[in-house]
Amino acid sequence: MVRSIRLAEEQDRSILIRDYLQHLSPHIGEAERYALLHLQVDRALLIEESGFLLGLATWGPREGIRLGVAQVTGMRIIASRRQQGLGSELFRALLSDMSAYYAERDAALRRLFLFSAEGTAPFFERMGFQQVAQLPALLGAGAGERLYLREV
Ligand SMILES: CC(C)(COP(=O)(O)OP(=O)(O)OC[C@H]1O[C@@H](n2cnc3c(N)ncnc32)[C@H](O)[C@@H]1OP(=O)(O)O)[C@@H](O)C(=O)NCCC(=O)NCCS
């Protein structure tokens, strides 16, 4: 089994569309915009094993690049392969991609933030994040209402 992590590119548009439809909302127009966003503005990393998709992680620089602030917008491993270290492996690749992106633009990654639900808090805490706020009204109870920060 050959496992790899790579940046999503134009030929992966249908993977991103499917991801939105399956996990976010059943709205094809928004799914197409989500794919476009992650191919042209934000970035998506795909983790695969022998060509089979095991999960993905999405992120984007926020505000001016020189501020060094990035948002992790999503991380998902397929349910049958969780608790095997794949999320940690994907997160390490995400950090490398972020650092390289900033360095290529003469800037430095300084701080990450994300919104997480209660269930994934232990994972992100193990990845070095700290909860700094709880915003129950933001996305609705149980849906990413905790704001996490990580200094790099
Ligand atoms: C959050 C998520 C990406 C983590 O992925 P994962 O592959 O399960 O992550 P890991 O296996 O690296 O770590 C998860 C746990 O498994 C444990 N683990 C890691 N390797 C292990 C192994 N070889 N054997 C047994 N357990 C292991 C870790 O200790 C870790 O425990 P903790 O999170 O309670 O601290 C995954 O749970 C997920 O897709 N969740 C649903 C989507 C979601 O809510 N995403 C977050 C918001 S966008």
Residue 58 lies in a domain: yes
Q: How many domains does the chain have?
A: 1
Residue 148 lies in a domain: no
Closest ligand 1 atom to 55 CA: 39
Residue 69 lies in a domain: yes
Q: Whose CA is nearest to atom 21 of ligand 1?
A: 84
Q: Whose CA is nearest to atom 44 of ligand 1?
A: 120
Report the CATH number at residue 61. Answer: 3.40.630.30
> What's the confidence (pLDDT) of residue 125?
96
Residue 85 lies in a domain: yes
139 CA distance to ligand 1 middle (Å):
22
> What's the confidence (pLDDT) of residue 141?
61
Residue 24 lies in a domain: yes
Residue-number span of the structural domain to which 81 is assigned:
3-109
0.85 exceeded by pTM: yes
Residue 134 lies in a domain: no
Question: What is the percent of the chain with per-residue pLDDT over 90, rounded to a whole number?
Answer: 86
pLDDT tens readout for residues 71-116: 999 999 999 999 999 999 999 999 999 999 999 999 999 999 999 8
Give the position of tokens 């149980």.
142
pLDDT tens readout for residues 7-18: 999 999 999 999
